[in-house]
Amino acid sequence: MTADVPKVVIVGAGFGGLTAAQALARAPVDVTLIDRHNFHYFQPLLYQVATAALSPADIAWPIRSIVRRQKNITVLMAEVEGVDPQARLVHAGATAVPYDFLVLATGATHSYFGHPEWAAVAPGLKQIEDATRIRRKVLLAFEEAELIDDPDEQRRLLTFVVVGGGPTGVEMAGAIAEVAHYALPSEFRRIDPHAARVILIEAGPRLLPTFPEDLSAYAAQALEKMGVEVMTSARVTDCDGRGVDLEASRIEAGTLVWAAGVIASPAGEWLQVEQDRAGRVKVGPDLAVPGRPEVFVIGDTAAAVDAEGKTVPGIAPAAKQMGAYVAKVIAARASGRPAPGPFRYRHQGDLATIGRKAAVVKLGSVHLTGFIGWLFWGVAHVYFLIGLRNRAVVAFTWLWNYLTYQRGARLIVDGPGGQEEARAEKAKPQAPAVEAGRTRSRDQAPVEGTDWR
Amino acid sequence: MTADVPKVVIVGAGFGGLTAAQALARAPVDVTLIDRHNFHYFQPLLYQVATAALSPADIAWPIRSIVRRQKNITVLMAEVEGVDPQARLVHAGATAVPYDFLVLATGATHSYFGHPEWAAVAPGLKQIEDATRIRRKVLLAFEEAELIDDPDEQRRLLTFVVVGGGPTGVEMAGAIAEVAHYALPSEFRRIDPHAARVILIEAGPRLLPTFPEDLSAYAAQALEKMGVEVMTSARVTDCDGRGVDLEASRIEAGTLVWAAGVIASPAGEWLQVEQDRAGRVKVGPDLAVPGRPEVFVIGDTAAAVDAEGKTVPGIAPAAKQMGAYVAKVIAARASGRPAPGPFRYRHQGDLATIGRKAAVVKLGSVHLTGFIGWLFWGVAHVYFLIGLRNRAVVAFTWLWNYLTYQRGARLIVDGPGGQEEARAEKAKPQAPAVEAGRTRSRDQAPVEGTDWR
């Protein structure tokens, strides 16, 4: 580090933070990029890890490796515990990192709408660890069913419930159905994986509420063709280790997956500034915190409205655009140039895959479905994967899976009743203040007040 | 299952058990293959997972998937807790599986020579979980060193000690040196990974004691050229969380890896039969337990002497040969044909890789070293990998790593101070009766009584 250039600290190396760090490559600043993991990962493909199609390393890259040629970046793997905006320090363990500009890009986590205890039994899908945990649960359900004789318990174990009909829920339900109905049947002798039930529960009247109605209808049809039971206008009232309660009925299930809501990480609490009900920090038109022009909040952690009055959604392209924008603002201010105008969000489209040969794509007025949609989705995702090696391996693995119906990454790595389950029992408490809070992410309707259980 | 053919139960789907199961494809028997994991893995490449070159899924395959076309096999994922040889039952949880023939192929685990407490601080490398745990420790050491300022503690964190100079120890030391000296240097700003020390400690007078002396000397030279400090005739007297004690000195180290000894799994205790000092079951010339002609013990769990009086070593090819042999015996007896003669072991050669462009190979009287040895080693290992997809991915990944010096699978998946560490503290107790016990594996000299610390 040199002492005479401004210090930029970026917390979080997701899409927003990493884009900001990379966009500062030529700015006269020293960048410190802090993340509690040593890797950046491609969240849109996490469900493929959860359903054993890809390995974690196929969709994740060491942060250091990504930015190794950028000499003005220091990467620190550390858990940030707080920010001191007066002293301009970021606290991470025993280390205090000083900043002149701060970018908080710490993302979001699952929201259980005031029921943190559900986290232990209905894992969400945000982190690599979530994905391997869900993979383990799904695969173990088949193994345990094969081992026992009680038909009721076998039926329960082979019932998979996905809560939330946004893109993640649709993708998970489709992928679990594929595993059960295509990948596994020839491999079991005592149970028939074809008999597995996959149920997708959505509180609103239709799947994919952020998509146009024709694509929602197509998605529901395609899922049903794959054997997924789609329940709309169905509200979860309780989850436990053996199933899920709806308003009027109960479903006994071995595996619950939560894809219904997100809540921002605690950046707002660190800063002691105004947050919306989902814990997101309300930022100004330049994505800075009001009254703190040197502190920016981007990505899923920010409640941002762009120059045209559009609410910026919690999706990867939005986070990247915000990251690139704050880098421009910081570079301008560090160089004494005038800062750019307010942030403008460009919506590029919506994508969700349903399974083998089916996806829905909305690009402006163009709606794609079926095989064409799936091809477009595949090409787009391989294109956005970082690193030549991963692109090649993912493309090859997909082609292989497509041709053979196999799934290569089917490892259960903790044994039955292992440590991972024990960890899951320690549900991370959710802030009670956000009981009704929710953010608009790709998995949530833009309508404020919709109950997404 | 059909009721009228003999029931064969195979416990363990490693090289021995899986080979036996597959070799029974056309025999008039029902096979039940039980393993506590859902996957078979290629142990010889485990060190590549531990050093972030490959992903677990690259070297592991679902057992069910491997045998899915073999209609006479039922696969159960369960932890076997005991055997009732009188009632001919295998107990696994609530399940009791009856057998007419039993094959125990449960492998071996690490031996800490009467110091089970060392397991918590010096993990060995037998399971996939061991490999991801070591990977995490090695990568975290660099991350933590980058985060702190104390030069003594940085030096300690960047010191890696591998105990045991057999093939696994040689491979681990070489691979850690490669990570430190080639893959990482451009990525850190505050520490210099070049300064990392990798120390290989061997109690005997030379590395690779089962190899000819010229290959041992070559290996030591090649490792030293890569920056590994090789200490022979050095005995470990204590291990703790901060380093290792030798007879006359102490090495402060952040990471210890144990590659010094193995001990058989408890099949002998289940059967209540004679074991050698390393817990291996003494078997007859047909690999059956004396007095129990329907119970066979194979692989690292067996203390076998072949028809020519050769002690069968604890290596993968030997386990496979034993598996194929017992399948023949069982098939013959199930069909009422005469059983084959006693087991004969064919030694195919010895292989150990040292790092980029260097390996030692002994094939009969042919000794290969250097790049030619490395090429031979690579081709042989890709060839033995199961499954076309994995072969292609591994070959591609190796080529990529070779050309770019990168390691793609560098994921730390539990965060600093995570659950995995906590798990490590609960050292699995070793049976005290085996205090001085050791088996001859590829990581151990054939000389009985050599102290391998």
What are B155-197's pLDDT values in tens digits? 999 999 999 999 999 999 999 999 999 888 889 999 999 999 9
Gap between the Cα atoms of B286 and B311, Å rounded: 14
Confirm whether B190 is domain-assigned. Answer: yes
One domain, residues A155 and A252: yes
* Partner-chain contact A413 B78, CB within 8 Å: no
Distance of CA A278 to the CA centre of its chain: 16
pLDDT digits (tens, 9 = 90+) for B87-124: 999 999 888 999 999 999 999 988 898 899 999 999 99
One domain, residues B96 and B194: no
Element spanning A261, H or E: none
Confirm whether B318 is domain-assigned. Answer: yes
Confirm whether B442 is domain-assigned. Answer: no
**Ordered DSSP codes for B74-139:** EEEE--EEEEETTTTEEEETTEEEE-SEEEE---EEE--TT-GGGGGTS---SSHHHHHHHHHHHH
Confirm whether B242 is domain-assigned. Answer: yes
One domain, residues A307 and A358: no
Which residue among the candidates B171, B187, B202, B420 is catalytic per the annotation? B171
And the tokens for A413?
A: 């790595």
Name residue A29's amino acid: V
Contact A380, A49 (CB under 8 A): no
Residues of the domain holding B13 = 7-36+78-110+263-335
CA-based nearest residue in chain A for residue B94: A148
Contact B61, B18 (CB under 8 A): no
Residue B448 has what pLDDT?
32
Across the A:B interface, residue pairs with CB atoms under 8 Å apart total 157
Residue A371 has what pLDDT?
86
Mean pLDDT of A347-357: 83
* Partner-chain contact A411 B38, CB within 8 Å: yes
* Partner-chain contact A411 B186, CB within 8 Å: no
Confirm whether B150 is domain-assigned. Answer: yes
pLDDT bin (cut points 50, 70, 90) of residue A438 is very low
Element spanning B381, H or E: helix B370-384
Q: Is 90 exceeded by the pLDDT of residue A416? A: no
Q: Is 70 exceeded by the pLDDT of residue A94? A: yes
pLDDT bin (cut points 50, 70, 90) of residue B50 is very high
Mean pLDDT of B299-327: 94
CA distance A147 to chain B (A): 6
Residue B273 has what pLDDT?
93
Instruction: Give how many domains chain A has, as a whole number.
Output: 2
Confirm whether A59 is domain-assigned. Answer: no
Q: Which residue has the tokens 């009981």?
A: A435
One domain, residues A162 and A198: yes
Handedness of CA A13, A14, A16, A21 (dihedral sign): positive
One domain, residues A171 and A214: yes
Choice among A273-277, B328-332, B404-408 with the minimum mean pLDDT: B404-408
DSSP class of residue B179 equals I
Which residue among the candidates A171, A213, A247, A421 is catalytic per the annotation? A171
One domain, residues A142 and A106: no
Contact A441, A315 (CB under 8 A): yes
Backbone dihedral region for residue B309 (phi beyond 0: left; psi -120 to 50: alpha; all else: beta): left
Residue B3 has what pLDDT?
57
Residues of A in contact with B1 (CB under 8 A): 189
Instruction: Give me the CATH number covering residue B276.
Output: 3.50.50.60
* Most B CBs within 10 Å, among A413, A414, A420, A423, to test the B interface: A413
Closest CA to A442 of A199, A179, A149, A166: A166
Residues of A in contact with B39 (CB under 8 A): 410-412
One domain, residues B94 and B20: yes
And the tokens for B244?
A: 């290792």
- How many of the other CB atoms lie within 10 Å of CB of B372? 12
Q: Is 70 exceeded by the pLDDT of residue B408? A: no
DSSP class of residue B345 equals -
Mean pLDDT of B357-386: 84
Residue B406 has what pLDDT?
66
Phi, psi of B336 (to 5 degrees): 75, 15
Mean per-residue pLDDT over chain B, rounded: 86
Q: Is 90 exceeded by the pLDDT of residue A81? A: yes
Q: Is 50 exceeded by the pLDDT of residue B449? A: no
Contact B389, A406 (CB under 8 A): yes
Sequence-ordered list of residues with C-beta below 8 angstroms from that of A384, at least 6 positions apart, any chain: A42, A44
Q: Is 90 exceeded by the pLDDT of residue B412? A: no
One domain, residues B147 and B241: yes
* Partner-chain contact A419 B423, CB within 8 Å: yes
* Partner-chain contact A419 B419, CB within 8 Å: yes
Instruction: Give me the CATH number covering residue A151.
Output: 3.50.50.100
Closest CA to A418 of A53, A111, A139: A139
Percent of chain A whose predicted confidence (pLDDT) is above 70:
87
Phi, psi of B273 (to 5 degrees): -125, 175
* Partner-chain contact A410 B62, CB within 8 Å: yes
Question: Helix/strand/coil (H, E, C) string of A356-405?
Answer: CCEEEEEECCEEECHHHHHHHHHHHHHHHCCCHHHHHHHHHHHHHHHHHC
Residue A405 has what pLDDT?
65
Q: Is 90 exceeded by the pLDDT of residue A138? A: yes
* Most B CBs within 10 Å, among A187, A390, A391, A396, to test the B interface: A187
Percent of chain B whose predicted confidence (pLDDT) is above 90:
64
Is beta strand B292-297 parallel, antiparallel or unpaired with respect to A350-355?
unpaired
ipTM: 0.81
A167-200: b (≥16 Cβ within 10 Å) or e: bbbbbbbbbbbbbbbbbbbebbbebebeebbbbb
Confirm whether A402 is domain-assigned. Answer: yes
pLDDT bin (cut points 50, 70, 90) of residue A257 is very high
One domain, residues B122 and B133: yes
Handedness of CA A7, A9, A13, A17 (dihedral sign): negative
Contact A33, A10 (CB under 8 A): yes
pLDDT digits (tens, 9 = 90+) for A203-233: 999 999 989 999 999 999 999 999 999 999 9
Residues of B in contact with A61 (CB under 8 A): 408
Question: Helix/strand/coil (H, E, C) string of B222-291?
Answer: HHHHCCEEEECCCCEEEEECCEEEECCCEEECCEEEECCCEEECCHHHHHCCCECCCCCEECCCCCEECC
- The pTM score is 0.85
* Partner-chain contact B187 A58, CB within 8 Å: no
Confirm whether B104 is domain-assigned. Answer: yes
Mean pLDDT of B209-235: 95
Mean pLDDT of A354-359: 80
Choice among A193-207, A240-254, B43-57 with the minimum mean pLDDT: B43-57
Q: Is 90 exceeded by the pLDDT of residue A247? A: yes
Gap between the Cα atoms of B436 and B421, Å rounded: 28
And the tokens for A256?
A: 């619950």
Contact A20, A362 (CB under 8 A): no
Highest mean pLDDT among A20-34, B262-276, B379-393: A20-34
pLDDT digits (tens, 9 = 90+) for B316-342: 999 999 999 999 999 999 999 999 999
Handedness of CA A14, A93, B415, B405 (dihedral sign): positive
One domain, residues B173 and B161: yes
Is beta strand B89-92 parallel, antiparallel or unpaired with respect to A358-363?
unpaired
Q: Decide if A143 is catalytic.
A: no
Phi, psi of B386 (to 5 degrees): -85, 135
Compute chain A's Rg from CA coordinates. 22
One domain, residues B125 and B255: yes
CA distance B146 to chain A (A): 7
Return the SS3 of B364. Answer: coil
pLDDT bin (cut points 50, 70, 90) of residue B407 is low
Nearest CB among B129, B143, B392 relative to A77 is that of B143
Gap between the Cα atoms of A354 and A117, Å rounded: 29
CA-based nearest residue in chain B for residue A424: B419
A86-121: b (≥16 Cβ within 10 Å) or e: eebbbbbeeeebebbbbbbbbbbbbbbbbbbbbbbb
- How many of the other CB atoms lie within 10 Å of CB of A24? 28
Sequence-ordered list of residues with C-beta below 8 angstroms from that of A249, at least 6 positions apart, any chain: none
Residue A194 has what pLDDT?
93
Gap between the Cα atoms of A408 and B391, Å rounded: 12
Residue A442 has what pLDDT?
54
Q: Is 60 exceeded by the pLDDT of residue B243? A: yes
One domain, residues B298 and B314: yes
Euclidean distance between the first and the last CA atom of chain A, given in angstroms as a whole number: 49
Residue A9 has what pLDDT?
98
pLDDT digits (tens, 9 = 90+) for A159-197: 999 999 999 999 999 999 999 998 888 899 999 999 999
Mean pLDDT of A114-119: 92
Long-range interactions of A271-277: CB distance < 8 A, separation 24+: A271/A83, A271/A85, A271/A104, A271/A295, A271/A297, A272/A85, A275/A303, A276/A303, A276/A437, A276/A439, A277/A434, A277/A436, A277/A437, A277/A438
Q: Is 70 exceeded by the pLDDT of residue A8? A: yes
CA distance B267 to chain A (A): 20
